[in-house]
A and B are shown apart, each in its own frame.
Chain A
């Protein structure tokens, strides 16, 4: 009896000591770089494009958890409509802590105050952001100049050409607008069942060429539409004329779903698509030999950047841990793993892209993020509809630009 009377307190004491030691050891893993003790669970959300991607991301997460054992990452990808699911979570104030933000939706999500400004964390952890491509970083800065996300990867447009067709026509890959036209002339008639170039009838391709002609959609401060200007008009006319002269065709005209398919089916010899076309061709048309060339230039270089960031929710319950995760994901080791298979391109200049992607990376300085101002969905719809009408010869480029300009200015009000 007497023995047992001491046993219980001894056990309790033992437990307390043990708990204290355990707690202190986990607390002891203070990240020297952040200077903050980050613990707990963090939810990471995004969309899952392919099983390969998911595997890569899980690898990165494993690396993170090994480095920071006190933080547990709950990876919860969203299938289906990503923005709809995320908005529901935001409204319920139970969002994921870290998640993808497409540059296209960033202006709206920033305006709605869904994202946490990351500058304090950057300062606290003394992070150097110079390695990131500046144009990509700009895509996630708000009108207040604050940073709301770090780009996890990106892709610009490049010019992909069919080796066989170009060789047969005896022409080299063009580098300028005039060379493009000349190459197309040479290819005319030599692309059976198709046309020399495939051009998408949408502004998410046209805009790149507008930039190449010195035009822009909005002014720098995004307060005014600059789409109804000569530079833009000339670029649009050039684009449309290529189609109308039969030197280029839209996917619908070529009987395909998109220009990548046209390249694969040899219905076009020259297309302008991003990094995503490479794995697509490898998987769907492995026998077609093609080359990724640098994007052509007009009066200047110009390109679009399709990029996605990791951002933090303003309603996140564990911001320190969330920042820890973001930092790792967009840090060198994380990004290296993520981009190792070439499914996406690194958004940092100090992470080498896999082989064959140089011509994409080369576009970084001239690439501008594909985004506009908040509530611009309607404006882009109108712009694309009008462009289709122009291509169908139902209206003039000038009329299109007037309409788009009006819609844009109204949305900016």
Chain B
């Protein structure tokens, strides 16, 4: 008697679990589909075509790993990588420092804090192409900057200053976004820790460096990763200020810009794809290293 009564209940529990699982999968299906279609598929496709000489209408010649070997010897690619790494090494600390500073200011509860928050974030919202176009005017030989500080150096036209000018430009536009991330992390720090520090006679500076800064570890990690990945992929500004050439003297030629020039100018999609794969591996590795170094945040 007991077993007969138990049996239906047992079965319905199992099928309820199955139904739950199916519903879960159904929900994931769409975003997963998007992810596969727009991220995994192009990546796999890029790996595929990187082994060929690939033209407008497809396969021209099978090259195996020749594209990668050529990349190894390609001194322009090396220059592009160097430019990109230099750019990243400069822009990331600036963005992080500025973003953190702005977050601290906005969080301090000063008057007009909403205004500052909007003002700091605005450059990130505006179109990067529009901002770059304006920057070209401001930084031209007879532009606003030179009118203020004197001299007639064409900032984007001089191979010594072009890349650094892009660093400054991007630091200004992207710091606002970093500010938002830091702000979220900042507000996650419980206030009583600050109260304890105040009673423990910590001044503003010590409180910032010994309490706030270490407790922002999740923020540092996130901002760091986002910053580095974004910097390694820089393209827009380099393209616009150099008119697509990566000049002067390839000083603004970033890895992605070179990839673009190879694809559009030389119509060597396979070679460009190989570049993309190398860049992907580079970014992936850097992110992994960051994860290992800044991984676990402290809680409690």
Contacts and interface: CB of A to CB of B under 8 A. Distances in A.
B141 interface: yes
B76 A381 contact: yes
A91 B267 CA distance: 11
A90 interface: yes
B267 A81 contact: no
Contacts of A114: 56
A406 to B, nearest CB: 10
A285 to B, nearest CB: 13
Contact of A378 (B154, B159, B262, B264): B262
Given A375-B266, A378-B262, A384 B141 contact: no
A335 to B, nearest CB: 28
A144 to B, nearest CB: 17
Contact of B140 (A87, A108, A257, A389): A257
B154 A377 contact: no
A125 interface: no
Contacts of A377: 261-262, 265-266
Interface string A261-300: 1000000000000000000000000000000000000000
A384 B158 CA distance: 14
Interface residues of B, number: 30
A376 B264 contact: no
A84 interface: yes
Given A257-B140, A385-B249, A112 B267 contact: yes
B266 A108 contact: yes
Main secondary structure on B side of the interface with A: loop
A112 B153 CA distance: 42
Given A257-B157, A381-B76, A83 B265 contact: yes
A81 B262 CA distance: 14
Given A87-B264, A91-B57, A257 B247 contact: no
A164 interface: no
Interface in A72-94: 81, 83-84, 87, 90-91
Contacts of B76: 378, 381-382, 385
B264 A112 contact: no
Interface string B147-171: 0000011100111000000000000
A384 B152 contact: no
Interface string B76-106: 1001000000000000000000000000000
Contacts of B154: 251-252, 255-257
B4 to A, nearest CB: 66
A193 to B, nearest CB: 9
Main secondary structure on A side of the interface with B: helix
A90 B56 contact: yes
B159 A388 contact: yes
Nearest to B136: A257
Given A113-B57, A251-B157, A255-B154, A381 B246 contact: yes
B218 interface: no
Counting chain B CB atoms within 10 Å of each CB, the highest count among A111, A113, A261, A378 belongs to A378
Contacts of A375: 266-268
A81 B264 contact: yes
A375 B154 CA distance: 31
A384 B247 contact: yes
Nearest to B160: A252
Interface residues of A, number: 31
Contact of A385 (B140, B250, B264, B267): B250
A374 interface: yes
B266 A374 contact: yes
Contacts of B153: 255
Interface in A214-272: 251-252, 255-257, 261
A112 B266 contact: no
A255 B266 CA distance: 32
B250 A378 contact: no
A382 B73 CA distance: 13
Given A252-B157, A378-B262, A382-B76, A108 B267 contact: yes
Contacts of B57: 91, 112-113
Contacts of A87: 56, 264, 267
B192 interface: no
Interface string A165-205: 00000000000000000000000000000000000010000
B250 A381 contact: yes
Contacts of A91: 56-57
A374 B55 CA distance: 12
B244 interface: yes
B7 to A, nearest CB: 60
Interface string A104-121: 010011011110000000
A81 B248 contact: no
A341 B65 CA distance: 53
Counting chain A CB atoms within 10 Å of each CB, the highest count among B56, B140, B158 belongs to B56
Counting chain A CB atoms within 10 Å of each CB, the highest count among B75, B141, B261 belongs to B141
Nearest to B162: A252
B236 interface: no
Nearest to A252: B158
B248 A388 contact: yes
Interface in B248-274: 248-250, 253, 260-262, 264-268
19 contacts: A91-B56, A112-B55, A113-B57, A114-B56, A252-B154, A252-B157, A252-B248, A255-B154, A257-B141, A375-B268, A377-B261, A377-B262, A377-B266, A381-B76, A381-B261, A382-B76, A384-B249, A385-B250, A388-B159
Given A105-B265, A381-B246, A382-B75, 15 more contacts: A87-B56, A87-B267, A91-B57, A109-B267, A111-B267, A201-B249, A251-B154, A252-B158, A256-B154, A377-B262, A378-B262, A381-B250, A384-B250, A385-B250, A388-B248
Interface of A: 81, 83-84, 87, 90-91, 105, 108-109, 111-114, 201, 251-252, 255-257, 261, 374-378, 381-382, 384-385, 388-389
Interface of B: 55-57, 74-76, 79, 140-141, 152-154, 157-159, 244, 246-250, 253, 260-262, 264-268
